[in-house]
Structure 1
Amino acid sequence: MYVYILTNTGLTVLYIGVTNDLARRLYQHSTGRGDASKFTGRYQADLLVYFEQLPDAAQAISREKVLKGWSRAKKNALVAAFNPDWKAIDLETWEG
């Protein structure tokens, strides 16, 4: 299971989600780009800037709730510690 953070090209929004298949979920976000009925589509947040793998769904959901409760500054610090340049992460080439 994964908890992940997406942003848009302007870095103006953060979206936090949870999934069991990160590659599939990123594809779903990218194909929904521009869909005003969805948060990630409305704000074009489809750039992966952070993720962490957790052993099971309960832990992933719990971690997602914790992150969603954080201030924007704390979320920014988490991303910056993991991905200092805030570059979009390509899962096929990420060496983390």
Structure 2
Amino acid sequence: MAWTYILRCNDGCFYTGSTNGDLDARVWQHNHDDELAANFTRVRRPVVVVYAEKFDTVDAAFFREKQIQGWSRAKKIALIEQRGEDLPRLSRSSGWDASTGSATQ
């Protein structure tokens, strides 16, 4: 099973990643393993999972990771807080119209 996840770091920032394995083991790596942790999280420990989505394939999880990484902090918080109704508005305010899939004029 593959996962896309958002971690809240010790300094309050977010890290978005994906894994094709055990999510708990990957979070442990972020917190304890200097070789396998992302450079970003290594200096912002401890990290905690604040959001996770399960996928059938690692490709789907990776695609979702890249999508979320492009989002504003406000939009990530709405996702974490399960405020799906706010996501389209937050997209449009950043110059992206979710209904058309293109930049707003």
Same fold (TM over 0.5): yes
Q: How far did residue 44 of structure 1 move? A: 1.8
SS of the counterpart of 2:49? strand
* Structure 2 unpaired stretches of 5+: 84-105
Tell me by how many angstroms 1:62 deviates. Answer: 0.6
Counterpart Cα distance in 2 of 1:5 and 1:45: 13
**Displacement after TM superposition at 1:9 (Å):** 4.2
Aligned residues: CA RMSD = 2.0
How much does 1:45 deviate? 4.9
Aligned to 1:66: 67
Shift of 1:51: 0.2
SS of corresponding position for 1:24: helix
Match of 2:81 in 1: 80
What CA distance in whole angstroms lies between the structure 1 residues aligned with 2:60 and 2:52? 14
Query: Quick one: distance in 1 between partners of 2:74 and 2:33?
Result: 27
Q: Deviations over 1:49-96 (max 9, x none)?
A: 1000011011111100100011110001100118xxxxxxxxxxxxxx
Q: Which residue of 2 aligns with 1:46?
A: 47
Code of the aligned partner of 2:5:
Y
More strand by share: 2
User: Secondary structure of 2:56's match?
Assistant: coil
Q: How many residues align?
A: 78
Counterparts of 2:44 and 2:73, CA distance in 1: 16
The higher radius of gyration belongs to 2
Amino acid of the structure 1 residue aligned with 2:51: Y
Identity of paired residues, percent?
A: 38
With over 3 angstroms needed to count, the CA separation of the structure-2 counterparts of 1:79 and 1:46, relative to structure 1, is same
Q: 2: CA distance between counterparts of 1:19 and 1:79?
A: 18
User: Aligned to 1:81, what secondary structure does the other structure show?
Assistant: coil
